[in-house]
Amino acid sequence: MRARLDFDLATPEAPPEASIDAAIKLLKSGFLFRYAEMGAEGNEAALLEQEFAAVLGRKYCVAVNSGGSAIFLALKAAGVQPGDKVLLNAFTLAPVPGAIEHLHAESVLVEINGRLVIDPTDLRAKAMASGAKFLLMSHMRGHVADMDAVQDICEDLGIKMIEDCAHTTGATWNGRQTGQFGLAGAFSSQSYKQFNTGEGGLIVTDDADLAAQAILMSGSYMLYPQHSAAPSEDIFARWKGTMANHSMRMSALVAAILRPQLPLLPARNERWREIHDRIADRLQTHQFIRLPKRPPEENYTPTSLQFFMEGLSQIQIEAVIADCAAYGVPIKFFGGDTPQGFTSRAPHWEYVSPQPLPRSEAILGTLCDIRLPLGLSDTQADTLANVVLESLDETLS
């Protein structure tokens, strides 16, 4: 008799008791607004910015209300104007090109390779053909591209890079953290990321002008001196009065929930790698399953697992997925005709002008994705892998 997974893969990691205590303390105080006309010393968001900047090794940090807002503000502060072309890898989630659309800019989609990351050759070609001077580098599903090659291309062609690090907090390439390669890095604390606050975002940068603009646009009401990881007054003087208030700053409550989770990052990422590798080792024993190959330069942070069902038709893949779901293992499929929860491809983004992406479409056409909750035990991880393998064999038989 086939075993069924007895763990809901949609279960997020609950905030620790310290986060709950901090939230209750703040709720009792009533100081829930993002500034509340108080100094930086007791301002949860300002304290978080200081602490997160230290974690990322960057000078400045701006806490905002979502990862999408972080991307939008970073791009806008970097100088993206309506009509500008922004390079973007073709494997990402809809809020990423959505941020470009929010700016009334134009996405120039770049092919990916079998590692599910941006193809440097196509990046250079698309940059030269389009004349784009901005790159939104999305580290989708925790896969880190050859950042040395990407950075070289940006330097050669005068391209400003903003990193979407929503899935890679703590990940590194050649020992250097994602979020340190570009002009700015945008992070997320949405429930299924490394930190769980329900929703939240952070921008890190060493560029004083970008930081000042992002702070002003996030909705500072000229209370920007409350930001502790921020530029000096003379930098703000260049921009205040010219930056619109977009009301995107992180609330004090979200910051209070997030701060106690920062020290947990290394242990969480280590456990995620253990769960990922345990399942991956089992899955790749099957002749019809292939996993993206990770190079030694990449220290990854896998909150989910991706694999290809190669040699199968779309109908067969969807049959395997249906069988897995019946045994408690929901699988997301990027090759579907319509976008489902947290999956989509370029053809699904109707607000982006159609662009030929034959390699990316072929790669994503067999790509499957499984969420990996931190609460998954080794035994449950083994059951999960067995469900996938048995469903695959059952369908093919």
Of the residues 263, 286, 321, the one at which a domain ends: 263
Q: Cβ–Cβ contacts within 10 Å for residue 234, how many?
A: 9
Say if residue 281 is in the same domain as residue 169.
no
CA atoms within 13 A on the CB side of 362: 9
Using one digit for the tens of pLDDT, what is the confidence trace for 270-313? 999 999 999 999 999 999 999 999 999 999 999 999 999 999 99
**28 assigned to some structural domain:** yes
Say if residue 63 is in the same domain as residue 128.
yes
**74 assigned to some structural domain:** yes
Q: For residues 39 and 223, what is the distance between their CA atoms, to the nearest angstrom?
A: 9
Quick one: average pLDDT of 16-39? Answer: 85
Contact present, 142 and 300 (Cβ < 8 Å): yes
Say if residue 119 is in the same domain as residue 134.
yes
**378 assigned to some structural domain:** yes
Say if residue 373 is in the same domain as residue 362.
yes
Quick one: average pLDDT of 183-211? Answer: 97
The domain that contains 323 carries what CATH number? 3.90.1150.10
Quick one: average pLDDT of 358-387? Answer: 97
Quick one: average pLDDT of 12-26? Answer: 96
Say if residue 48 is in the same domain as residue 36.
yes
Say if residue 343 is in the same domain as residue 373.
yes
pLDDT bracket for residue 1 (50, 70, 90): confident
pLDDT at 174 over 60: yes
SS3 of the chain: CCCCCCCCCCCCCCCCHHHHHHHHHHHHHCCCCCCCCCCHHHCHHHHHHHHHHHHHCCCEEEEECCHHHHHHHHHHHHCCCCCCEEEEECCCCCHHHHHHHHCCCEEEEECECCCCCECHHHHHHHHHHHCCCEEEEECHHHCCCCHHHHHHHHHHHCCEEEEECCCCCCCEECCEECCCCCCEEEEECCCCCCCCCCCCEEEEECCHHHHHHHHHHCCCCCCHHHCCCCCCHHHHHHHCCCCCCCCCECCHHHHHHHHHHHHHHHHHHHHHHHHHHHHHHHHCCCCCEECCCCCCCEECCCCEEEEEECCCCHHHHHHHHHHHHHCCCCCEECCCCCCCCCCCCHHHCCCCCCCCCHHHHHHHCCEEEEECCCCCCHHHHHHHHHHHHHHHHHHHC
pLDDT at 36 over 90: no
Of the residues 263, 291, 307, the one at which a domain ends: 263
Percent of the chain with pLDDT over 70: 98
**10 assigned to some structural domain:** no
Say if residue 272 is in the same domain as residue 253.
no
pLDDT at residue 76, rounded to an integer? 98
Pairing verdict, β 184-188 and 298-299: unpaired
Q: Which domain holds residue 51?
A: 17-263
**256 assigned to some structural domain:** yes
pLDDT at 34 over 80: no
Enumerate residues 6+ apart whose C-beta is below 8 A from 314.
335, 336, 365
Percent of the chain with pLDDT over 90: 89
Say if residue 135 is in the same domain as residue 229.
yes
pLDDT at residue 344, rounded to an integer? 82
Quick one: average pLDDT of 386-390? Answer: 98
pLDDT at residue 101, rounded to an integer? 97
Q: Model-level pTM?
A: 0.96
Q: Which residues pair with 285 in a beta bridge?
A: none
pLDDT at residue 397, rounded to an integer? 86
Max Cα separation, the chain? 71
Say if residue 246 is in the same domain as residue 357.
no
Summary mean pLDDT of the chain: 95
SS3 of 36-49: CCCCHHHCHHHHHH
Say if residue 383 is in the same domain as residue 278.
yes
Phi/psi of residue 134, nearest 5 degrees: -135, 140
Of the residues 263, 297, 325, the one at which a domain ends: 263
Using one digit for the tens of pLDDT, what is the confidence trace for 45-92? 999 999 999 999 999 999 999 999 999 999 999 999 999 999 999 999
Using one digit for the tens of pLDDT, what is the confidence trace for 198-232? 999 999 999 999 999 999 999 988 888 888 899 99
Phi/psi of residue 299, nearest 5 degrees: -105, 105
pLDDT at residue 31, rounded to an integer? 83
**4 assigned to some structural domain:** no
**2 assigned to some structural domain:** no
pLDDT at residue 184, rounded to an integer? 98
Closest CA relative to residue 203, chosen from 192, 190, 218: 218
Using one digit for the tens of pLDDT, what is the confidence trace for 92-147? 999 999 999 999 999 999 999 999 999 999 999 999 999 999 999 999 999 999 99
Total tally of structural domains belonging to the chain = 2
Say if residue 178 is in the same domain as residue 108.
yes
Say if residue 81 is in the same domain as residue 95.
yes
**12 assigned to some structural domain:** no
The domain that contains 33 carries what CATH number? 3.40.640.10
Closest CA relative to residue 357, chosen from 42, 43, 125, 21: 125
